[in-house]
Chains A and B, each alone.
Chain A
Amino acid sequence: MKVFSADRLERLLDTVLKPSRYTGGEMNAVIKPFDQADVTFAFCFPDSYEVGMSHLGIKILYDIINRQPWALCERAFMPWPDMADAMRKEDLPLFSIESRTPLDRFDIVGFTLQYEMSYTNVLEMLDLAGIPLYSRDRQNGPIIMAGGPCAYNPEPLAPFVDVFQIGDGEEMMVEAIACVRKCKQEGLSRLDTLRALAKIEGIYVPAFYQASYNNDGTLAAFAPIDDAAPAVVRKRIVRDLDSAAYPEAFVVPYTEAIHDRIVLEIMRGCTKGCRFCQAGMLYRPVRERSLETLLSQAEKLENATGYEEMSLSSLSSGDYTHLTELVCALTERYAERKISVSLPSMRIDSFVKQSLEEAQKVRKSGLTLAPEAGTQRMRDVINKGVTEEDLIRAVTDAFESGWSTVKLYFMIGLPTETDEDLQGIGNLARDVINAYFTVPRSQRAKGLRVTCSASTFVPKPFTPFQWQGQDELPQIREKQARLGDILHQVKGVNFNWHEPELSMLEACFARGDRRMADVLYAAWKNGCRMDGWTEFLNYEGWMKAFQDCHVDPAFYANRVRGEKELLPWDFIDAGVTKAFLWREWQKALRAEVTPDCRKGCQGCGLKRFEGVCVDR
């Protein structure tokens, strides 16, 4: 039995790296008496403190739960491996930051799943907390919940998680914790509590479903085995984002988080329809926050945090209706207080020169653009509605306004890719450099820096590419080398790429089924954790896990799937229909584009949700 002791913890803290990751005491951390709350929720981010504290979702839900006078939410993060090992050696259970309560004393332990390669950390955190990993081994103790974008294919985690929340969490979370509170008050059993939860829209309780498989390994059937469980789990949508709860204060960490600043979520959803982009499909439809709401949120957050930087967040900030007004108003208000305003995830087709100039008044950060592919044909395949002309105009504008650092993001291994598409990346990089030199010397900033970053395409559920196979490792390596050669010939470009092994594992989990859970467990047993950190990725541990479980990674990562195949996530209604996605997949193969649905509905399926998709 693991027993918590503050004294032993203090002792450990003197011996580990960056102990202030574990000690809390931050401004705006919510401190409530633990024993007086009807429901206690440990919000777990399965990665380091610095990564977790940068994440917006945790801020929103932490605030929402703590707003309920009867509920309490505290945070927990994945301890850095040195701390994890020390805790295990000392038998010290994983504890929450605020009250240092061991996680197994909470009513609910909830994980946010932002990327597949954090799954081993979910197991590691449960184990560090002394909580049995498999749902079937937990007769009492906390209910394990999970949400976030990866919950849209929950199957690889199905045996470990009791309850998944699918979709926007703002309303569903309150319903879920209220349900647990009621069940507790009525003294219901664990099973009946799960049944009550399964009736909430958006909630999936994997134990209430059964999967069977064909001889070729594909899914034969998937259906509920408990009356409380719906056959189709429908994602939750917050219809009115403007009135949805948003924190008035962020917890301000001492040790610097990756993104340590005020974040304003200006809108949710994206209608561009890029075919590789899971977020673009999952977060439909587009909902905007009003200018007034955002300005008032900015003011409250600034007064509560004292941050020196503010960033606007959305999938496609350039499409926000009042972008120029918002950026002008923010810069005007905060210039005197020396607060900079930044616009990440700017898409080149929505580039607004004016807002660029506004943003730059306070600080000039590097410009990030994501053309994703090198040729027009390839961009048509992925439905990235951007032309080379757009891109060159955008960078020229930026160079004229004094920018000199440009990062270009590309993907390799996209469907139908040929050598010409790789060549295209080199051509584009060269054109960007030429654009810099066309700007008169007196007008441009010194020190041009162009970086090309190539990630490996990972097919994701609920995208038109969900049927496509990923390139095999040797192919990816070959393409990376080839692209390296091409870019080597372009003077002044830095090239970097991602580990292809990591992308392969990501692909296995992204489209995995329940059998991937065995591999996950075996890999964790082999010591895999913190897989997203290059220094900790233990590829041999993973390969051994696949072998021991008799699972072929190619079945999940590289196999092309057919129209009729039952996909492991088909029981989830994510808004976009399978028919729409297939249509888009066929159009992709013909390199046919689909325009932004703001200009006309493309029939993706969201209209089936009442009142969410309004024609403009």
Chain B
Amino acid sequence: MKMLVVFEKKERLRHVSHLDLMRAMQRALRRSGVPIAFSQGFNPHLLVTFAAPLSVGMPGLREVMEVPLSAEISEEEFKEKLRAALPPELPCVAVRAVEDRHPAPMAQLFAAGYQITVQEHVEEILAAIPSLLAKENVMALKKTKSGEKLTDIRPMIYEIKRLDESRFECVLALCEAATCKVELLMDALAAEAGLEARPRYLAVRTQLLGKDFIPLELL
């Protein structure tokens, strides 16, 4: 049996690195007293996997991890125990028990939703959204293993929606085949708005999505 856990990484913890977050979660699971499975071998560790690491500096509202269990436990009991073992800035939002053969969340990941608060050149950036979306190609310099590569990110932008005077929402590709980071979108918007540099902004990852844009934890 495995448990899919949806948790929030609040703004105060946005600088906690993925590695540190993994360690914090493992310790939380240990102190929670839920029946967790250990790896075999000389230096045993918990078998926890995360759907997608969050970049340093970014909070997440509905992050997903998978916890293999060594014994049966009800969703309610698991959630209650984990809730008590987590600090207030890292609450457990939901859990879902699945079979061992349920595909790993990481393998089902397709895209992610973000909410972005623009903190500089707000008007220009927000005004550039419709014209960016109207384009057929949006070329951006993408960092790859072998250096930088000019890539068309337009197909990786699924949606951009303005929310109010300073914020917008977007859905961007996030999977092995294609990933568009928020920085790239912000660079493209800045270029579209005729700005020299990417403006300051705060991005929050609001959701992880699988096929047909269904939230990962519901697949």
Report the minimal beta-carbon distance from B122 to chain A, rounded to whole angstroms. 15
In the complex, what distance in Å separates the CA atom of A254 from the CA atom of B25? 10
In the complex, what distance in Å separates the CA atom of A26 from the CA atom of B13? 9
In the complex, what distance in Å separates the CA atom of A20 from the CA atom of B15? 5
Say yes or no: A27 contacts B28, CB within 8 Å: yes
Complex: chain B residue closest to A7, CB-CB: B119
Residues of B within 8 A of A252 (CB): 24, 27
Which candidate, A115-123, A298-306, A436-444, is the interface stretch facing chain B? Answer: A298-306
Complex: chain B residue closest to A249, CB-CB: B31
Task: Known contacts A25-B87, A27-B87, A303-B33; decide if A20 and B27 are in contact (CB<8 Å).
Answer: no
Partner of B12, one of A14, A25, A302, A363: A25
Say yes or no: A306 contacts B26, CB within 8 Å: yes
Say yes or no: A338 contacts B38, CB within 8 Å: yes
Complex: chain B residue closest to A18, CB-CB: B15
Kindly state whether residue B57 has any CB partner on chain A within 8 Å.
yes
Complex: chain B residue closest to A307, CB-CB: B27
Kindly state whether residue B54 has any CB partner on chain A within 8 Å.
no
Residues of A within 8 A of B43 (CB): 363
Residues of A within 8 A of B32 (CB): 306
Say yes or no: B13 contacts A27, CB within 8 Å: no
Query: Chain A 1-23, CB within 8 Å of chain B: the 1/0 string?
Result: 00000000001011000011001
SS class of chain A's interface: helix, strand, loop or mixed?
Answer: loop
Say yes or no: B31 contacts A23, CB within 8 Å: no
In the complex, what distance in Å separates the CA atom of A28 from the CA atom of B16? 17
Residues of A within 8 A of B28 (CB): 27, 306
How many chain B residues sit at the interface, stated as a range, is 20 to 34
Partner of A337, one of B16, B17, B30: B30
Report the minimal beta-carbon distance from B120 to chain A, rounded to whole angstroms. 11
Q: Which of B31, B38, B90 has the largest number of chain A CB atoms within 10 A?
A: B31
Say yes or no: B29 contacts A306, CB within 8 Å: yes
Partner of A23, one of B15, B23, B45, B90: B15
Residues of B within 8 A of A11 (CB): 200
Interface residues of B in 187-208 (CB under 8 A from A): 200
Say yes or no: A256 contacts B20, CB within 8 Å: yes
Kindly state whether residue A24 has any CB partner on chain B within 8 Å.
yes
Kindly state whether residue B89 has any CB partner on chain A within 8 Å.
yes
Kindly state whether residue A29 has any CB partner on chain B within 8 Å.
yes
Residues of B within 8 A of A28 (CB): 87
Say yes or no: A23 contacts B13, CB within 8 Å: yes
In the complex, what distance in Å separates the CA atom of A338 from the CA atom of B13? 28
Query: Chain B 57-76, CB within 8 Å of chain A: the 1/0 string?
Result: 10000000000000000000
Residues of A within 8 A of B20 (CB): 20, 254-256
Say yes or no: B12 contacts A305, CB within 8 Å: no
Report the minimal beta-carbon distance from B80 to chain A, rounded to whole angstroms. 15
Residues of A within 8 A of B29 (CB): 306
Kindly state whether residue B94 has any CB partner on chain A within 8 Å.
no
Say yes or no: B12 contacts A27, CB within 8 Å: no
In the complex, what distance in Å separates the CA atom of A254 from the CA atom of B24? 6
Complex: chain A residue closest to B30, CB-CB: A306
Kindly state whether residue B147 has any CB partner on chain A within 8 Å.
no
Residues of A within 8 A of B15 (CB): 13, 19-20, 23
Say yes or no: B31 contacts A306, CB within 8 Å: yes
Kindly state whether residue A308 has any CB partner on chain B within 8 Å.
yes
Partner of B87, one of A19, A26, A303, A308: A26
Q: Which of A14, A20, A31 has the largest number of chain B CB atoms within 10 A?
A: A20
Residues of A within 8 A of B87 (CB): 25-29
Interface residues of B in 1-45 (CB under 8 A from A): 10, 12-13, 15-17, 20-21, 23-24, 26-33, 38, 43-45
Interface residues of A in 394-412 (CB under 8 A from B): none
Residues of B within 8 A of A337 (CB): 30
Say yes or no: A306 contacts B44, CB within 8 Å: no
Say yes or no: A23 contacts B12, CB within 8 Å: yes
Partner of B16, one of A14, A20, A302, A305: A20
Residues of A within 8 A of B57 (CB): 14
In the complex, what distance in Å separates the CA atom of A252 from the CA atom of B12? 16
Chain A residues within CB distance 8 Å of chain B: 11, 13-14, 19-20, 23-29, 31, 252, 254-256, 302-308, 337-338, 363
Chain B residues within CB distance 8 Å of chain A: 10, 12-13, 15-17, 20-21, 23-24, 26-33, 38, 43-45, 57, 85-90, 200
A–B Cβ pairs within 8 angstroms, 7 of them: A20-B16, A20-B20, A25-B87, A31-B88, A252-B27, A255-B20, A303-B31
